[in-house]
C-alpha cells in the first residue's frame, strides 16, 4: 500500500513539473498577434533606462528610422524585409549567436550587431534593432514626431510589461516601437527596440526563385534586363537578334511604324519571342495604347475615346471597362506591357504634349479614373505603367523636343500633380514612368528621370513606392540635347531607376548597355544596386505570368464589338 502511495505522489510531482515547464515554454513563445500582420513576438531583451554618450537630435533620428522603414530597412543592416534571404545574411554576417523557433518563423540573434532577424521560410520578414541610438529615444519623442500610433498592443510576462506602438509606414511595412509601458513612476520610458515587419503571408513564393535566378545570371544578362529598346522596322532583323542574343535585352517598345497589320504584328512578336527562348527571362513587349489619339495598334481597330472625354463623363465603371478593353487588345496582339494610364493633371491649357491625353484638370477625377483604368488593364494580366511622374501637365514645351521646366515647390506638387500618383501607388501600382522635366525646387541640375531627389527621395521614400521605376524614352531631345545618353542612363540608375527606355536607334541602345556595364566594372554602380533592380524586374515578370509563347490570329471583330458595346451603354 505504501509503495502505491509513493507512486501516486511521484506521479503528481512529475505532472506539476511538466505543467510548470509548459507554462514557462508558452510564456517564452507568447504570440502577440495583430489581425493585420500575424507576426509572433519573442520575449524582449531587458529595457535600458538611459544610454549615456549619445549625441543626437531625437526628431532627426526618428525621421531617419522612418525613412529607412519605408524602404524595408533598419539603420543597422543592409537587409530588406520580404526580399533578403537567409543565405545573403549569412554571407555578410556569418552564423547567428542564437536561434529561436516560433509558430510563424525563426528568429536569429546577432549580439554584436544588436540586431535580431525573423524569417518566414528563407526570407526576412522582421528586422529588429536594439542599438544604442534606438534605445536612447523616449516615448514622448516618438509621439511628438510620429503622432498617435495606428494601433497599440501589449506584451507581458514575469519580467516585462511592455507597450508596442504600431505605425503603418506604407502598404508593405509596419514599424513597431517596443518600450516599457508608461506609468506614474516611468512616464517617459526609453525604447527597448524597434521591429520592422512585412506581412509574412505577403512574401511571394516567386521571391525565392527571383533571388536564385539573379545569382545564376552574369553581369551582361542582368544589365540587359534593365533596358527596353526600340526596333528599326516591321520584322526581326539582325539588330533585334543581336539585342536578344548578344545583349539579353529585357524587352522592346513598338510604335505605329513597326505595326502594319494584325498579321504582321503577330508574326513580328512571335519571332522575337521565339528568338528569346534561349534566355532566362521572357521579353517585355510594350506599346503606348492609351486610347484616343495615342493608339498604336494596327488594323481596323476602333478607338476608345480620349481620356479627356472619359474625364468629362466621369464614370469610374466606364474607366475600368475601358482599361479592360485596352488590356484585351494588347493580349490579343501578344503584348504584355502598356504605357498607360496617363496620370498627368492637365492644369496648363498651353501644354503641347498632354492635352486630351489627360482625364482633366481636377486631380480627384484624374486620380479616380486613372486608378480604375490601371486596374482594368492589370485585370487582363497586362502590366500598366502609370506616367509621367511627377506630373507633366503644367509644362509649356514638349519634352520630345525640349527640356520642360516646372517651377513648383514640393508643397505645390503635393496639392496637385502628385495626388493621382499617390492614389495609384496606394492602390498597388506596379510600374511608374519618370518624365524628362526639370523641377528646380527639387533638383536644380537634373531632370526627374535622372534625379535622385525625385526618384529616390520623393517617389521611393516620401511616397513609399517599391515597384518598378523606368525612364521615359532617353532618345528624346530633352535628354540628348543636354546630356550624353550613356552617362545619363548611368545617372538614372544611380538615382533609382530600374529600367532605361531607349526607343530609337540600335546604336544608342548598345551605348546605354555598354555604359551601364562599364559603370559596374569601374565601381561607379555597385553590382548589388544592379541586383536590386533586376529582382524587381524578375518579380514583375513572374507576377504577370509573362511567357514567350506565340499568339494566334487577332479577332478584330470581337475587340471592336466590346468597344461598341461599352460606348452604346454610356451614350444612352
User: Between the CA of residue 114 and those of 120, 192, 194, 370, what are the distances in Å?
Assistant: 20, 11, 11, 45
Burial class (CB in 10 A: 0-12, 13-18, 19+), 65: buried
Instruction: Characterize the bridge pairing of strands 115-120 and 123-129.
Output: antiparallel
Catalytic one among 38, 400, 441, 504?
400
Grid cell, residue 242, equals 543581336
* Catalytic residue (choose from 85, 199, 356, 472): 472
| Closest-CA residue to 546 (of 280, 290, 188) | 280
Q: How many helices (H) and strands (E) does the chain have?
A: 20, 19
Grid cell 526607343 is found at 503
CB 65 within 8 A of CB 136: no
C-alpha cell at 490: 548611368
Q: Give every strand in the sheet of 431-434, ordered side by side.
A: 386-389, 431-434, 468-471
Q: Is residue 407 within 8 Å of 441, Cβ to Cβ?
A: yes
Measured on CA atoms in the order 198, 199, 200, 202, is the torsion positive or negative? negative
CA–CA dist 546, 444 (Å, integer): 39
**Is the separation of the CB atoms in 378 and 326 below 8 Å?**
no
HSE-up of 270 (CA within 13 Å, CB side)? 13
Helix, strand, coil fractions of the chain, as percent rounded to 5: 45, 15, 40
CA-to-CA dists, residue 213 to 47, 277, 534, 542, angstroms: 42, 16, 10, 12
Cβ 512 vs Cβ 502: under 8 Å: yes
Q: Copy the grid coordinates of residue 497.
A: 531607376
Report how far residue 372's alpha carbon sits from residue 390's, in angstroms, rounded to the nearest whole number.
Answer: 19
Question: Residues, the chain, total?
Answer: 572
Active site residue 38: no
472 catalytically annotated: yes
For residue 277, give every residue at least 6 positions away whose Cβ sits within 8 Å of its Cβ, in sequence order, or none.
Answer: 548
Q: Which positions are catalytic?
A: 400, 472
Amino acid at each position: 500500500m505504501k509503495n502505491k502511495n509513493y507512486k501516486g505522489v511521484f506521479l503528481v510531482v512529475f505532472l506539476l513539473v511538466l505543467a510548470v515547464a509548459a507554462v514557462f515554454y508558452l510564456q517564452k513563445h507568447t504570440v502577440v498577434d495583430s489581425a493585420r500582420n500575424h507576426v509572433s513576438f519573442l520575449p524582449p531583451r531587458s529595457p535600458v533606462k538611459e544610454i549615456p554618450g549619445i549625441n543626437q537630435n531625437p526628431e532627426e533620428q526618428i525621421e531617419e528610422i522612418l525613412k529607412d522603414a519605408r524602404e524595408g530597412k533598419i539603420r543597422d543592416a543592409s537587409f530588406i524585409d520580404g526580399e533578403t534571404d537567409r543565405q545573403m545574411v549569412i554571407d555578410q554576417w556569418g552564423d547567428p549567436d542564437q536561434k529561436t523557433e516560433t509558430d510563424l518563423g525563426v528568429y536569429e540573434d546577432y549580439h554584436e550587431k544588436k540586431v535580431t532577424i525573423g524569417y518566414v521560410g528563407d526570407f526576412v520578414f522582421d528586422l529588429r534593432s536594439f542599438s544604442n541610438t534606438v534605445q536612447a529615444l523616449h516615448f514622448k519623442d516618438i509621439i511628438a514626431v510620429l503622432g498617435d500610433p495606428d494601433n497599440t498592443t501589449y506584451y507581458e510576462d514575469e519580467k516585462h510589461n511592455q507597450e508596442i506602438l504600431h505605425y503603418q509606414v506604407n502598404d508593405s511595412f509596419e514599424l513597431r516601437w517596443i518600450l516599457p509601458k508608461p506609468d506614474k513612476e516611468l512616464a517617459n520610458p526609453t525604447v527597448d527596440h524597434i521591429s520592422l515587419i512585412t506581412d509574412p503571408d505577403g512574401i511571394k513564393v516567386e521571391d525565392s526563385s527571383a533571388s536564385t535566378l539573379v545569382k545564376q545570371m552574369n553581369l551582361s544578362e542582368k544589365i540587359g534586363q534593365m533596358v527596353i529598346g526600340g526596333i528599326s522596322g516591321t520584322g526581326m532583323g539582325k539588330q533585334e537578334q543581336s539585342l536578344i542574343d548578344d545583349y539579353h535585352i529585357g524587352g522592346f517598345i513598338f510604335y505605329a511604324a513597326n505595326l502594319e497589320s494584325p498579321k504582321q504584328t503577330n508574326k513580328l512578336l512571335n519571332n522575337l519571342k521565339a528568338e528569346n527562348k534561349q534566355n532566362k527571362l521572357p521579353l517585355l513587349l510594350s506599346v503606348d495604347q492609351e486610347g484616343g489619339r495615342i493608339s498604336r495598334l494596327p488594323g481596323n481597330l476602333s478607338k476608345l475615346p480620349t481620356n479627356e472625354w472619359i474625364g468629362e463623363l466621369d464614370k469610374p465603371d466606364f474607366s475600368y471597362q475601358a482599361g479592360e478593353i485596352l488590356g484585351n487588345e494588347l493580349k490579343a496582339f501578344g503584348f504584355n506591357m502598356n504605357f498607360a494610364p496617363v496620370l498627368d493633371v492637365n492644369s496648363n491649357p498651353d501644354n503641347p504634349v498632354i492635352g486630351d491625353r489627360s482625364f482633366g484638370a481636377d486631380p480627384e477625377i484624374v486620380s479616380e479614373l486613372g486608378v480604375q483604368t490601371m486596374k482594368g488593364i492589370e485585370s487582363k494580366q497586362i502590366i500598366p505603367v502609370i506616367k509621367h511622374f511627377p506630373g507633366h501637365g503644367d509644362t509649356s514645351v514638349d519634352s520630345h523636343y525640349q527640356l520642360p521646366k516646372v517651377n513648383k515647390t514640393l508643397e505645390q506638387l503635393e496639392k496637385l500633380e502628385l495626388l493621382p500618383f499617390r492614389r495609384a501607388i496606394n492602390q498597388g501600382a506596379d510600374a511608374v514612368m519618370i518624365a524628362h522635366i526639370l523641377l528646380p525646387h527639387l533638383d536644380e541640375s537634373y531632370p526627374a528621370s535622372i534625379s535622385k531627389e525625385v526618384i529616390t527621395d520623393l517617389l521611393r521614400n516620401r511616397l513609399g513606392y517599391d515597384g518598378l521605376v523606368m525612364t521615359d524614352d532617353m532618345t528624346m531631345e530633352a535628354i540628348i540635347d543636354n546630356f550624353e545618353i550613356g552617362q545619363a542612363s548611368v545617372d538614372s540608375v544611380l538615382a533609382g531607376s530600374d529600367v532605361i527606355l531607349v526607343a530609337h536607334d540600335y546604336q544608342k541602345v548598345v551605348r546605354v548597355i555598354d555604359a551601364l556595364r562599364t559603370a559596374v566594372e569601374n565601381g561607379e554602380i555597385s553590382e548589388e544596386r544592379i541586383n536590386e533592380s533586376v529582382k524587381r524586374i524578375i518579380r514583375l515578370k513572374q507576377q504577370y505570368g509573362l511567357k514567350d509563347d506565340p499568339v494566334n490570329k487577332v479577332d478584330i471583330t470581337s475587340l471592336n464589338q466590346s468597344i461598341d458595346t461599352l460606348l452604346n451603354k454610356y451614350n444612352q
